[in-house]
Chain A
Amino acid sequence: MAKTQKVSFKLNGKPVEATVEARELLIYTLREKLAHTGPHIGCETSHCGACTVDLDGMSVKSCTVLTVQCEGAELTTIEGMEQGGALHALQQAFHEEHGLQCGYCTPGMITRAYRLLKENPNPSEQDIRKGIAGNLCRCTGYQNIVKAVQSAAKKLAAAR
């Protein structure tokens, strides 16, 4: 067995610990060791974004981050979006605007949109299209995803 080490970080607000080989990618630690199967694997080359998670306030593709890089980090995944039993505005909007079909890209897409709206709370359609360009969807043609992000942005603004 190759050498392993312990890594500790916060996952959706809770401290967690994992023992990993240095080569282990974050997506595998999340999915196989920490039972967070929301983020998916679509390419393992950073192109599709199905594995997108939020790492210290940045959207990252967890298929190209080593778990050992996450020591002390704060991570948010799709599983951390629902707060106190209430869906995040983006989750609700994806449902209401039919912004998903097979659901495979959805966790990464919502997690990316979550950061996008933190960076730019009032994005134009073009801002949204550019902002989610790192997340591929094969089903929806993006039109309803864009509508969902716009709708969530409005609801979040109204709640502020």
Chain B
Amino acid sequence: MSQTAELKEREQKLQGMGTSLLRKEDARFIRGQGSYVADIKMPGMLFGAIVRSPYAHARIKGIDKAKALACPGVVAVLTAADLKPVKLDWMPTVGGDVQAVLADQKVHFQYQDVAMVLATDRAAAYDGVALVEVDYEELPAIVDPKKALLKDAPVLREDIVDKKDLTHGPRTHPNHIFTWEAGDKAAADAAFKNAPITVREEILNPRVHPCPLETCGCVASFNKATGYLTLYVTTQIPHLFRTVLAMLSGIAESKIRVVGGDIGGGFGNKVPVYPGYVVATVASIVTGVPVKWIESRIDNISTTGFARDYHGVGELAADKDGRIKGLRFTALADHGAFNSHVSATKFPAGLFSICTGSYAIPNTYCRVDAVFTNKAPGGVAYRCSLRVTEAIYLIERMMDVLAQKVGVDKAEIRRRNFVKAEQFPYTTGFGWTLDSGNYHAALDKVLKAVDYEGLRREQAAKRADPKSPTLMGIGISTFTEIVGAGPTKVCDILGVGLFDSCEIRVHPTGGVIARLGTMTQGQGHSTTYAQIIATELGLPASDIVVEEGDTDKAPYGAGTWGSRSTPVSGAATAVAARKIKDKAKKIAAHLLEVAEGDLEWEIDRFKVKGNPSQFKTMKELCLVSHTGNLPAGMEQGLNAVAYYDPPNLTFPFGAYLCVVDIDKFTGEVKVRRFYALDDCGTRINPMIIDGQVHGGLTEAFAVAMGQQLPFDESGNHLGNSLMDYFLPTAVETPAWETDHTVTPCPHHPLGAKGVAESPHVGGIPCFSNAVIDAFAHLGVTHMDMPHSAYRVWQKCNALGLNKR
């Protein structure tokens, strides 16, 4: 065997970074042996079911439990009055507000939790729910956030009516939560005053729901003898969850164990701490037996973690060539009944100020006004970092609006405004330092791949032909994401910094176990992290086991959301592995009787420079590290733990292009082609990356083309089952074409940036831009999503396009 072939074979054996290693986690799932929360059955376990409010806004005049308690199998009915003695009828939120655990005197949204029925089995619990009699006095509801701050608007939150400030600045109205702003308003206003071209558009990101296939639920098990609480729960943040439970319950955090188990998709929906979890926990503490609570699908869509509901206004000022000179973006944010929006303490409107996107824009200002309405609380980031989809949707839509006003091509307007490759690191007007990027190259690669000029020619021909039964639209999105929260100097939740961690233990025969503070929900962490360690330590990925989600085992971390696993925990993994490698090198030098400086690393071993026959493999060093044959004073073992506090967030980017054909007579939008180029820096497992991009694009397609939570004027939810809420099937989901460039992140130990949310963030505006582009020649500059056939038909009809 030649030397190169031998090196290649050794490298392949590791299945490290850059290889499409098949997933380690699949073995149990393809056999139906996953272990999800709903699968758990414990002796004596009770089942909890929740009584929910039929009204969006009502006073509770009384609750009669008698009939429910008489129902066979029903053990107890818990209401706010039962939670009061343990001070858990209300709980603090991450947004500086409080939230009712069970409705206390008033309900503030339809389906709000009013009581929990505990019974010996599931069916009996639901029988009991039907028999709890609640006497309501209906009150006028606020559904439209634009009406929340009217002078005569009903006051929703009587419990905080005297609070002048919900930790994010003064409130100007009882239904006002906060006003948050960033940038330089005076400079932006001046830029608009002097600009030859200005554009303005009202742009809605409607209320949607992440809707993972598995709903939320838990099994709470309190052991009265030991005082230990174990909570098996659908959570993306097991460690922060444990901290919250300790804060709420007063139980020492060392006596609480949170277990994530297998999670059936999260997409942000499984970040918050929901009332159901808290009531089930109290119920277990009170009864001394395990209590299981599993949401129905209607509960899930109606009450847990919605997303968006940002009513935006975008304004750009530009010179006559379309070079942007000023940006003003504002949004009215509908936070629902309580301010339990998921956000870092210092960012009440999340990372909305990433809204300059991929463009070099001076004179920027943005503002978000958040208000209460009678809708479910708990806004989450649906497959994105906090409020990033909202921000990028605005800028990517406004770039098209500007192109139309200036009269230049939509690719060209982007080229003229991109941050140039040589400008990185580039600090935006809002203070974010984009660490790396190569936007022109990414866009050019996509345009070439799809023959953009040819597509525009075809479109022009169609537009010129009045007999064409279809409209053709071409959408472009050249987005920049902000992920990997985040540096502890700016990012914390409840005072806990958003660092993350990895602990690696190497066993004598070379097997490795790694434990992390993140929590996979399908992203393939067991495989990706193992590949990082395989490359760093020269031990085969097949022998590396990854564990997450059990707070008794894993070191502390902030969990998996905001594409933070690779940027933060991936970095921690590399750092921990390098600590081990450093120690192994010392052992190798000791064994080979050379100085450390005389050694070089080669795939899976340390070699003596200039003497290739003298080497020690990592596998050999694993065993030696467990003997007494070590350098003087060195302890046994090859273990390390790393807590990684990222110096900056990461900024993955991409260029997407979508071609749609729209039936003028039915409004049906057919996606002919979707080409997605992503740059997530160093690529650890290309197969998993592609899978994440496919999934993210499909969720973008869902949002752009069909998802919206509808309400009537009384606050009744009109679309909370899968009958009404759009989840694309295999039939309407387009085929995806993926591509990539690689611009490594300069501050990440591996150069990686995170990827799974980019396709969602970049995909939604790409679909919208394609649909609206189909009408652009008719003077249309904006249409609100979702672009359902009926809505698009309405536009065709209004424009008279459907006349034969």
A→B interface (CB under 8 Å):
1, 21, 23-24, 28, 31-32, 36-45, 47-48, 50, 77-79, 81-82, 87, 91-92, 94-96, 98, 100-107, 110, 128-130, 132-146
- Of B32, B694, B699, the residue contacting A143 (CB under 8 A) is B694
- Nearest-neighbour CB distance to chain B for A62, whole angstroms, equals 13
A136 to B733, CA, bound (A): 11
Instruction: Name 9 interchain pairs, CB-CB below 8 A, sorted by A.
Output: A42-B297, A87-B30, A98-B690, A102-B522, A104-B34, A142-B698, A143-B733, A145-B730, A146-B730
With A42-B213, A129-B731 known as contacts, the answer to whether A94 contacts B30 (CB < 8 A) is yes
**Cβ-closest chain B residue relative to A134:** B729
Specify which chain B residues have a CB less than 8 angstroms from the CB of A45 in the assembled complex: 297, 721-723
Chain A at the B interface: mostly helix, strand, loop or mixed?
Answer: loop
Check: B22 CB closer than 8 A to any chain A CB: yes
**Cβ-closest chain A residue relative to B698:** A141
Specify which chain B residues have a CB less than 8 angstroms from the CB of A50 in the assembled complex: 213
A41 to B433, CA, bound (A): 44
A36 to B41, CA, bound (A): 12
B22 touches A101 (CB 8 A): no
- Of A28, A81, A100, the residue contacting B29 (CB under 8 A) is A100
Specify which chain B residues have a CB less than 8 angstroms from the CB of A78 in the assembled complex: 31-32
Check: B687 CB closer than 8 A to any chain A CB: yes
A103 touches B730 (CB 8 A): no
In this complex, how many residues of chain B approach chain A with their Cβ under 8 Å: the count is 56
B39 touches A37 (CB 8 A): yes
Check: B523 CB closer than 8 A to any chain A CB: yes
A130 touches B695 (CB 8 A): no
Check: B521 CB closer than 8 A to any chain A CB: yes
Check: B262 CB closer than 8 A to any chain A CB: yes
One digit per residue, 1 when the CB lies within 8 angstroms of any chain A CB and 0 when it does not, for chain B 231-266 equals 000000000000000000000000000000011110
B→A interface (CB under 8 Å):
22-23, 25-34, 36, 38-39, 41, 72-73, 122-123, 211-215, 262-265, 267, 296-297, 521-524, 687-688, 690-692, 694-695, 697-699, 721-723, 727, 729-731, 733, 735-736
Specify which chain A residues have a CB less than 8 angstroms from the CB of B215 in the assembled complex: 42
Specify which chain B residues have a CB less than 8 angstroms from the CB of A44 in the assembled complex: 296-297
Chain B at the A interface: mostly helix, strand, loop or mixed?
Answer: loop
Specify which chain A residues have a CB less than 8 angstroms from the CB of B23 in the assembled complex: 95, 98
**Cβ-closest chain A residue relative to B685:** A98
Specify which chain A residues have a CB less than 8 angstroms from the CB of B524 in the assembled complex: 101
A102 touches B521 (CB 8 A): yes
B22 touches A95 (CB 8 A): yes
With A138-B267, A138-B699 known as contacts, the answer to whether A102 contacts B32 (CB < 8 A) is no
Most chain B CB within 10 A, of A37, A102, A104, is at: A102
A101 to B754, CA, bound (A): 17
A141 touches B695 (CB 8 A): yes
Specify which chain B residues have a CB less than 8 angstroms from the CB of A79 in the assembled complex: 31-32
- Nearest-neighbour CB distance to chain A for B384, whole angstroms, equals 15
A136 to B691, CA, bound (A): 16
Most chain B CB within 10 A, of A47, A50, A78, A103, is at: A103
A48 touches B30 (CB 8 A): no
Most chain B CB within 10 A, of A24, A41, A48, is at: A41
Specify which chain A residues have a CB less than 8 angstroms from the CB of B521 in the assembled complex: 102
A94 to B25, CA, bound (A): 12
A95 touches B736 (CB 8 A): no
- Nearest-neighbour CB distance to chain B for A90, whole angstroms, equals 8
- Nearest-neighbour CB distance to chain A for B728, whole angstroms, equals 8
Specify which chain B residues have a CB less than 8 angstroms from the CB of A143 in the assembled complex: 694, 733, 735-736
- Of B39, B72, B213, the residue contacting A48 (CB under 8 A) is B213
- Nearest-neighbour CB distance to chain A for B20, whole angstroms, equals 8
A132 touches B522 (CB 8 A): no
Beyond A43-B297, A94-B26, A104-B265, 16 additional pairs, beta carbon < 8 A: A40-B214, A42-B215, A42-B264, A77-B32, A95-B30, A96-B22, A100-B26, A101-B692, A106-B34, A138-B267, A138-B699, A139-B265, A139-B522, A141-B697, A142-B733, A144-B694
A106 touches B30 (CB 8 A): yes
Most chain A CB within 10 A, of B41, B262, B690, B694, is at: B694
A94 to B27, CA, bound (A): 10
**Cβ-closest chain B residue relative to A78:** B32
Specify which chain A residues have a CB less than 8 angstroms from the CB of B31 in the assembled complex: 38, 78-79, 81-82, 87, 91
A104 touches B730 (CB 8 A): no
Interface pairs A-B: 10 shortest CB-CB? A38-B32, A102-B522, A103-B29, A104-B264, A78-B32, A141-B694, A101-B522, A141-B698, A47-B722, A37-B39
- Nearest-neighbour CB distance to chain B for A44, whole angstroms, equals 6
- Nearest-neighbour CB distance to chain B for A14, whole angstroms, equals 16
- Nearest-neighbour CB distance to chain A for B500, whole angstroms, equals 21
Specify which chain B residues have a CB less than 8 angstroms from the CB of A135 in the assembled complex: 730
Specify which chain B residues have a CB less than 8 angstroms from the CB of A129 in the assembled complex: 729-731, 733
Specify which chain A residues have a CB less than 8 angstroms from the CB of B691 in the assembled complex: 98, 101, 139-140, 144
